[in-house]
Copies of this chain bind each other. A is one copy, B any other.
Amino acid sequence: MTREFCFTLKARDGKARQGEITMPRGVVRTPAFMPVGTAATVKAMLPETVEAAGADIILANTYHLMLRPGAERIARLGGLHDFMHWDGPILTDSGGFQVMSLAKLRRIEEQGVTFQSHLDGATHLLTPERAIEVQCLLGADIQMVLDECTPFPASREQAASSMELSLRWAERSKRAFQSLAAPGQALFGIVQGSVYPDLRERSAAALVRQGFDGYAVGGLAVGEGQDTMLDMVAVATALLPEDRPRYLMGVGTPDDMLAAIARGIDMFDCVMPTRSGRHCQAFTWDGRLNLRNARYADDPSPLDAASSCPAAAYSRAYLHHLVRSGEILGAMLLSWANVHFYQDLTAKAREAIQTEAFAAFAEDVKRRYAASGDPDDAVEI
């Protein structure tokens, strides 16, 4: 077993890349989708099912885990992998994004961010050093620098000041990582700069000078629209080194992902497949379906005839019945089928890049999803 973290490019098709990240805990085939295991569980799925669906790596949230059950507790219990029965690689975020979106009474200073837990109101200080310490306690294979996720919209001045703070925090994160991390663990920098191309360029160039094992593009998919998001992705990837993986954080729809792959992105995470699965929605090769819709009550066809996922073999009528009845099995099957779809999507993207057929593949998926339109409003079960 290797003790190194390394990224190997295997194929290209335009700017789209197919590669492999090799880590002590396993190989991640890119483009890769990382199911989100917020609180040490990919919601409503067994870890072996996540793996069988094709996931090489999952994401877990530092913010949630440091608050409950606590990073020191997980370390005492043997680390996050043992705790949640996931043997493969785990990427953890730094906690910064959730501090901004979930916690209360945040105060951002040079030192770090002081916030109150959304669970019990207790006050915490998250510094770049503490974010790395927590990720090391969890035993994360890929760790992220603490950044300030710039609010959207932000003025140019706000965005610049926030991005510069994130660069200083990145430097401190890197120093902490160098003293705390185990061999084979990796640290990614995060490009910020809101919707301002020159700030994105400044951020990317500075991070590359600092030097990281991989680079994320952060602060996007927050309301700026797909065109702007993709422009910012292209600005960043143009400056990022070819021999390091690139990760677009928190994205997205199938179309978002394929468009970002076309601009040189290798990794994604998003709650969409699991959250949608708990909201009666399915991602299929026929587009997106809302299983609450009465049109499925008598539909004997399988959820997705084009899928090899066992969950997709259940009839739409049965899934409709389960979600209408508020049955947990509905959330289980739809989460499973959705994660499987996302894994199939990236597997087919990898294949398409290898055969230089990526553009046609992305166009086909876009067409399937455009035809399905917006799903009906759905109720969480």
Contact = CB atoms under 8 A, between A and B. Distances in A.
Given A298-B76, A325-B39, A318 B83 contact: yes
Interface in A314-367: 314-315, 317-318, 320-322, 324-325, 327-329, 331-332
Task: For chain A, give the interface size range.
Answer: 35 or more
Contacts of A328: 43-44, 278, 328, 331-332
Given A77-B298, A324-B68, A43 B315 contact: no
Interface in A72-110: 73, 76-78, 83-85
A332 B44 contact: yes
A45 B77 CA distance: 27
A77 B314 CA distance: 12
B44 A329 contact: yes
Number of copies: 2
A318 B324 CA distance: 31
A297 interface: yes
B39 A297 contact: no
Name the residue among A44, A314, A328 with the largest chain B CB count within 10 angstroms.
A328
A69 interface: yes
A375 interface: no
A68 B329 contact: no
Contacts of A297: 69, 73
Interface of A: 39-41, 43-46, 68-69, 73, 76-78, 83-85, 278, 297-298, 300, 313-315, 317-318, 320-322, 324-325, 327-329, 331-332
